[in-house]
Amino acid sequence: MNNFGRWGLIDAYSAPSTAITTFTQQQINDEQIQFIHDGSSVAPSYMVSVSDGTITTGPTTPTIKFDATPTLVNNQLTVSQGQTIVITPEMLSTTDVDNTPEHLTYIITGLTHGKFILIDAPNAAITRFTQQQINDGQVQFIQDGGTVAPSYMVSVTDGTITTTPTAASISFTKISVSNSSISKAILFAHTNYVKENNVTKDNPKKIGVEQKKAEPMARLLKN
């Protein structure tokens, strides 16, 4: 083995993690030799020659098929209560040196208090979509309207390698309603009711009806 050691090592099962540069065909036949990549996004390279103890061949470059692991770069979300937002590459993006955006698929798990949809199919919640769909502005997130922040895990696959699920970093803002806003809403409902039903001081029962109609609105706003 010549010029070996770039982005990986070969070792024997009998001596793991100890790099070797010579081994026999019999050791290969007995499955005693393994290659360990260094985990980077760069393909390994080396030269191979073989000797019978008398004659040694010239070094030859092997054919290496290499698939880099996708790297999750951005995994974050800023959303307010009840908000619908378009997912952008600044929120969710991945790099992969040997794959294009349409071949990088996100897998969403553990999703709570919201859903992902495609703009072209707003009634169908999704848990898988591509980097290309994000780049094209086709993916939206809808918070469920409650006061609890959403949460979810993200993994990405290039069709061969799938990354470990990672929790999204989420910034969540609740929508608060003041007592003055509630009072204004009740007054608005009262005024409209009076106008629509010709309520007068001679017909006070309608005032009581209007007040009962306003109570559910007040409870809704408080929640």
Rounded Cα gap, residues 214 and 188, in angstroms: 9
Judge if 75 and 168 occupy the same domain: yes
Give the single-character DSSP code of 196: H
Phi-psi region of 198 (alpha: psi -120 to 50; beta: other; left: phi over 0): left
Judge if 150 and 77 occupy the same domain: yes
Q: What is the mean pLDDT of the chain?
A: 83
CA distances from 63 to 168, 192, 218 (A): 39, 80, 72
Per-residue pLDDT tens for 116-167?
999 999 999 999 999 999 999 999 999 999 999 999 999 999 999 999 999 9
The number of distinct structural domains making up the chain is: 3
Judge if 85 and 62 occupy the same domain: no
Judge if 79 and 161 occupy the same domain: yes
Q: Which residues constitute the domain of residue 137?
A: 71-173
Judge if 90 and 134 occupy the same domain: yes
CATH number at residue 125: 2.60.40
CA dihedral 141, 142, 148, 150 (to 10 degrees): -20
Judge if 76 and 142 occupy the same domain: yes
Judge if 75 and 166 occupy the same domain: yes
Rounded Cα gap, residues 52 and 43, in angstroms: 30
Judge if 84 and 154 occupy the same domain: yes
| Model confidence, pTM | 0.65
Band the pLDDT of 41: cuts 50, 70, 90: confident
Q: Once rounded to an integer, what is the mean pLDDT over residues 182-194?
A: 59
Which 3 state secondary structure label does DSSP give 96? coil
Is 90 exceeded by the pLDDT of residue 66? no
Judge if 9 and 58 occupy the same domain: yes
Per-residue pLDDT tens for 11-24?
556 677 688 888 99
| Structural tokens at position 186 | 């009740």
